[in-house]
A and B are shown apart, each in its own frame.
Chain A
Amino acid sequence: MAAVSFTVIGLVLAALAGFFGYQAATATPFWLTDVMVLPLAGGLIIMALQDKYARMTKWIAAAFSLPAMLMCIGLALAFRIDGAGGYQFAEHASWTPALGISYSLAVDGIGTAMFLLTGVIIFAGCLASWSVEHRVREFYALLLLLTSGVFGVFAARDLFLFFLFYEVAVLPMYLLIGIWGTGPKEYSAMKLTLYLLLGSAFMLVGFLALYFASGVTPLTFDMDTMLKTAYSPGFQKLFFPFLFLGFGILAGFWPLHTWSPDGHASAPTAVSMLHAGVLMKLGAFGIIRVAVELLPIGAHAWLPYFAVFTIVNITYGALVAMSQTDLKYVIAYSSVSHMGIVVLGICTLTDAGLNGAVFQMFSHGIMTGLFFALVGFTYGRTHTRIIADFGGLGKRMPVLATFFTIGGLASLGLPGLSGFVAEFMVFLGAWRFNPVLAVIAAAGIVFTAAYVLRVLQRCFWGPLNPHFADITDANRVEILCLTILAACLILFGMYPRPLVSLINSGVVGVLARVGGGG
């Protein structure tokens, strides 16, 4: 077996080296494929690793996710914002011409922002999983596989490819939650997987409809071709809900959100981070990229109604979070609430709203990643997540408490942290769209403040629970993980301009297609 595993590892490395070498030799960098392939290669190598080298797993995972993150940052820096932005780093290759499938990748400003988010979260997620001891290799391999899927969705310009990556991103969750989760993990894993795949089934129907109705010969899944197609209004109105709800499930759209609290609460730390941080964004991303962009008339017809549901998302999520007793449930419901802001921003179809929505996708991704990491670290020390069991942990864990405070403040939309920028833009957009909704949505943030501070007060403030008299504060790996995340929150909260400009270059394209109000 040793020979086999070394052979496999050698082959993967050689393929990787060959791939990069080819790019270097021909001076044609496949940026997006590179970013996508890195985690996958890491995952394959980890799977091929023998058991006795299992302790190397984490380092390999970090060694592959760190360059992925750095490349994402490079991607964001290299993205040319000047002018209309548009799609960049495009790659195109024929795949299955008989079905009109092509390997077609490209990102616009929105996609680039999501790449950045994913890169940061996956590296932080690898660090946050440092304490996993059970079946480590499978854990990291699945985690990295999933990440490749996520990258793929954000870059796909072909609906088939989009769907393929989408499933690759969603399905490993079943095992990740089922094997390494806590609590009713099998139940949660099953619920999450079935619910999300039900969404994807509806998406698929929508995709096929788009495919046939485009009327081009030969038929194609290429999204750029579909963008040029004017689907009939009746068609758009019929299929928009399929796509919106299909993606909406993943985006935590009320009332299709109940997989999220259970799933996030049961999932292991890094999986919660990735899931709430990145995967839920796939849903919102899909709504923008597929539902809204391809079916603009349908969007205009349906979104005013869906917007009402997002208001429920925001306020209801916050109110429900208020009376949760389990820390992870609080954060899960807060995700439901915050994702409502994202979808509301999309529903407004305004410049400010869409920019805010995407910014919130980024911001919430980082913030919720930070939260879940913190909860994971705390749970690792206290072995409880029940809020009432905590108390005064700040005394013993000042570092964790500080990061929790930063996360909490970002969550309640404190200016100076990235959450505010996003929420503010969404509210601006929502006001133009419908003032009543904007007011109710804004009221939601008061509730958010209430429950976030309540959690802070109950868990980290107050007299120290003597039960935890000798727990320890965060270690170096954890601090690194938390610092990366918190730095993003602060950086883009203090000076959002670069990120907003990046996102705006994509939003301009969406609005040009949708023809939304300014």
Chain B
Amino acid sequence: MFPGILALVPALPFLAFVVIGLVTRPWRWLSAGVAIAAISVAFLLSLGALSFLLTAGAETPRVVELTWLTTSTLNAHIGLRLDALSGIMLVVVTTVALMVQIYSLGYMSEEPSLSRYYAYLSLFCASMLGLVLATNFLQLYVCWELVGVCSYLLIGFWYDRHAPAFAAKKAFVTTRFGDLGFLIGLIMICTAAGSFDFVEIQAKVAAGTWTAGWLGTVAVLLFCGAAGKSAQVPLHVWLPDAMEGPTPVSALIHAATMVAAGVYMVARLFFLFSASPDAMQVVAVIGGVTAIFAALIALVQDDIKRVLAYSTISQLGYMMLALGVGGMAAGMFHLFTHAFFKALLFLGAGSVIHATHTNNMWEMGGLRKKMPWTFWTFVAGSLALAGVAPFAGFFSKDAILHLVMGKNLFLFALAVLGSLCTAFYMTRVICVTFLGEARAASGHAHESPWVMRVPLVILAVLSVVAGFWHAGFERLVQGGEAEAEGLNLGFAAVTQMVPLAGILAGVMLYVLKSPDPDALAVRFAPLYTLLKRRFYVDELYDWIIDRIVLRCSAGLAWFDRHVVDGAVNGVAWLTQQTGTQLRYVQTGRVQHYALAVFGGAAILLAIAHVAGAF
């Protein structure tokens, strides 16, 4: 039965997309129903697949394929590959997608284009699930781009406003820039291997067909794509702006699933990355830098979704870091837990935004009383994110820190610092948003409807308990023979101090106001501005685009019109001028004509004479 039946998992949402687009578009609730029904079935199938894996074992991937295109030398397939990684991802994606789609019933209830919304969401799910199930590089890339375009469409869902329109474009172009590396890497390896297939290429890598240096180049190029998709420094700039999309979309795409595709890709191609220590080093460093870099920026953001966005970047950095130091299972486990609690946090934030109609935390405050469900689930998510035991994040992050400490102390330091920041900024969010006195926008806030609360609760529960599957997860991913690394209690006790310190600092600053955060901002003004302006990366890119790309473009446009086309018009002008001048040779005086005849004859004679004819 497996994995053939899994074709339904991506196919059902895709069908939902088609049906909504062509049939149910005018009836928005029907469209929502179609989408949710499709993803529910996909969810159940995914659960089935996972349990199948748990019982039947996941050592060898199960693959079915179909020819997609074929020429004399090319042979590309689309197919389904069921193994531990894809099985887990299926569950993560379908779970979060289902939660988000249910949640959206409430959150988007006043949206007239609900059909379009659910159509896009369904298309996204289809592409994401296709990505997860990919059997080969080409399919991976195809779905990779498709999720990108869904992200583009959903960020720009409210396309009649400037900011989402701009953010959507930025997201697409930035990730596309990374994808360029992906594409080149993919062409390199597939041309060399003569195949797109993971299994075949893995065999060739294992057989030592290529040198580590060459593989490293390929891996780094492929990682460019992953870095773009997973918003790693320096391609992270699009993710905060992507928050212009509807919040459930942020939860699904920009927190739990699509942005994790980069991590998934590195994990999927771990056979390739791990063959090149240099590439692994690159992944680890980029991951570590991203983790601390984004966490620092998150410290000072005012927009609740942007805090979460930077937090997502930072957590994705942790995942990359884990992969980079060889902890594939740890990275994937963090992906797994992060998906739940980050989706939860976004949905919680959405609930808040839904109630207050603002994104700015400083206009909220005191929402704890008015929105208790939201508050408590949000706190659960925050604790999970901060890595406080025994929430899910604790297990996954602890595993990462443990691994990194064994490999690279500098990166470990970064990771610990990042962890501290994480706890601090989440505390800050909770204090400013939910505690204290109510500010402007909190006035008539009220708890969200049950369709929104139920997903919050479910995700909160998952955020609490998901960590306990730690050992089972590792066994599944590493394969049966690999020994699962147990929890090192001593180490955990020490690292547990870090988030607690962060929370404490947050409470001191934002509840007790000692020291006063505003005063600190003034005191460390340069640093504060640097963080506030997000290290000026966006400005740098704007400058590059404005000054270099657009000027180049304008210059070339000028060149094309005036030099290339100018040459063409010049030839035309010259032709006309020649004609005009030539015309005046014809003076109208008959003796000039006779002179021409005589002259012509004389020239002919001269030529013949010079040529020696007589």
Contacts and interface: CB of A to CB of B under 8 A. Distances in A.
Q: Do A and B come from one complex?
A: yes
Contacts of A195: 568
B565 A258 contact: yes
Interface string B139-178: 0011111100100110010011110011011001100110
B180 to A, nearest CB: 6
Which among B138, B177, B568 has the highest number of chain A CB atoms within 10 Å?
A: B568
A504 B68 contact: no
B183 A414 contact: no
Contact of B169 (A350, A442, A457, A496): A457
Nearest to B123: A416
Contact of B161 (A254, A420, A462, A497): A462
A497 B176 contact: no
Interface in B56-73: 67-73
Contacts of B606: none
Contacts of A322: 549-550, 553, 557
A407 B144 CA distance: 19
B interface residue count range (under 10 / 10 to 19 / 20 to 34 / 35 or more):
35 or more
A320 B560 contact: yes
Contacts of B550: 322-323
Nearest to A329: B557
Contacts, number: 151
B560 A420 contact: no
Interface stretch (B184-192, B290-298, B434-442): B184-192
A442 B183 contact: yes
A421 B564 CA distance: 32
A351 B177 CA distance: 27
A258 B565 CA distance: 6
A443 B141 contact: no
A405 to B, nearest CB: 8
A363 B144 CA distance: 21
Prevailing SS type, chain B contact patch: helix
Given A415-B146, A463-B160, A255 B564 contact: yes
B191 A428 contact: yes
A165 B49 CA distance: 60
Contacts of A445: 176, 180
A438 B186 CA distance: 12
A263 B525 CA distance: 58
A140 B71 CA distance: 39
Contacts of B149: 409, 414
Interface string B552-569: 111011001000110110
A174 B155 CA distance: 45
A463 B161 contact: yes
Given A323-B550, A414-B149, A453-B169, A461 B71 contact: no
Contacts of A262: 565
Which among B71, B177, B553 has the highest number of chain A CB atoms within 10 Å?
A: B71
A195 B572 CA distance: 10
Given A414-B146, A415-B146, A416-B146, A496 B69 contact: yes
A351 B142 CA distance: 21
Interface string A377-419: 0000000000000001011000000000100010010111000
B74 interface: yes
Contacts of B74: 351-352, 355, 425, 428
A109 to B, nearest CB: 11
Given A351-B72, A428-B191, A461 B184 contact: no
Interface string B33-75: 0000000000000000000000000000000000111111110
B156 A461 contact: yes
Nearest to B171: A453
B187 A427 contact: yes
Contacts of A259: 568
A462 B160 contact: yes
B159 A460 contact: yes
Prevailing SS type, chain A contact patch: helix
A91 B153 CA distance: 50
A235 B141 CA distance: 45
Nearest to B175: A449
Contact of A432 (B72, B191, B553): B191
Contact of B71 (A352, A405, A443, A495): A352
A461 B159 contact: yes
A454 interface: yes
A449 B142 contact: no
A431 interface: yes
Interface in A435-480: 435, 438-439, 442-443, 445-447, 449-450, 453-454, 456-457, 460-464
Given A323-B553, A446-B176, A504 B184 contact: no
A362 to B, nearest CB: 13
A320 B162 contact: no
A351 B159 contact: no
Given A323-B553, A454-B169, A462-B165, A421 B145 contact: no
A426 B169 CA distance: 26
Contacts of A240: none
Given A351-B71, A457-B166, A319 B553 contact: yes
Contacts of B556: 316, 319-320, 323
A214 to B, nearest CB: 29
B402 to A, nearest CB: 39
Nearest to A435: B188
Contacts of A438: 184, 187
A461 B564 contact: no
Contacts of A424: 138, 183
A371 B564 CA distance: 25
A443 B190 CA distance: 19
Contact of B160 (A392, A416, A420): A392
Interface string B533-557: 0000000000000000110111011
A191 B568 contact: yes
Which among B72, B166, B567 has the highest number of chain A CB atoms within 10 Å?
A: B72
A106 interface: no
Contacts of A191: 568, 572
Contact of A504 (B72, B176, B180): B72
B142 A420 contact: yes
A258 B564 contact: yes
A500 interface: yes
A229 interface: no
A218 interface: no
Contacts of B557: 319-320, 322-324
A415 B78 CA distance: 13
A33 interface: no
A505 to B, nearest CB: 10
Which among B142, B156, B187, B564 has the highest number of chain A CB atoms within 10 Å?
A: B187
Interface in B65-110: 67-74
B558 to A, nearest CB: 9
Contacts of B568: 191, 195, 258-259
B97 to A, nearest CB: 19
Contact of B560 (A316, A409, A416): A316
A449 B170 CA distance: 10
B165 A457 contact: yes
A416 B144 CA distance: 11
A464 B184 CA distance: 39
Which among B69, B72, B156 has the highest number of chain A CB atoms within 10 Å?
A: B69
B68 A495 contact: yes
Given A428-B191, A462-B162, A518 B72 contact: yes
Contacts of A464: 160
B187 A431 contact: yes
B70 A449 contact: no
Nearest 6 A/B pairs, CB to CB: A415-B142, A461-B165, A258-B565, A461-B159, A322-B553, A504-B71
Given A446-B180, A453-B173, 20 more contacts: A191-B568, A191-B572, A255-B564, A259-B568, A316-B556, A319-B549, A323-B550, A323-B556, A351-B71, A352-B71, A412-B176, A415-B143, A447-B549, A450-B173, A453-B152, A454-B169, A457-B168, A461-B159, A497-B70, A518-B72
7 contacts: A414-B149, A432-B191, A453-B169, A460-B159, A462-B165, A500-B70, A508-B72
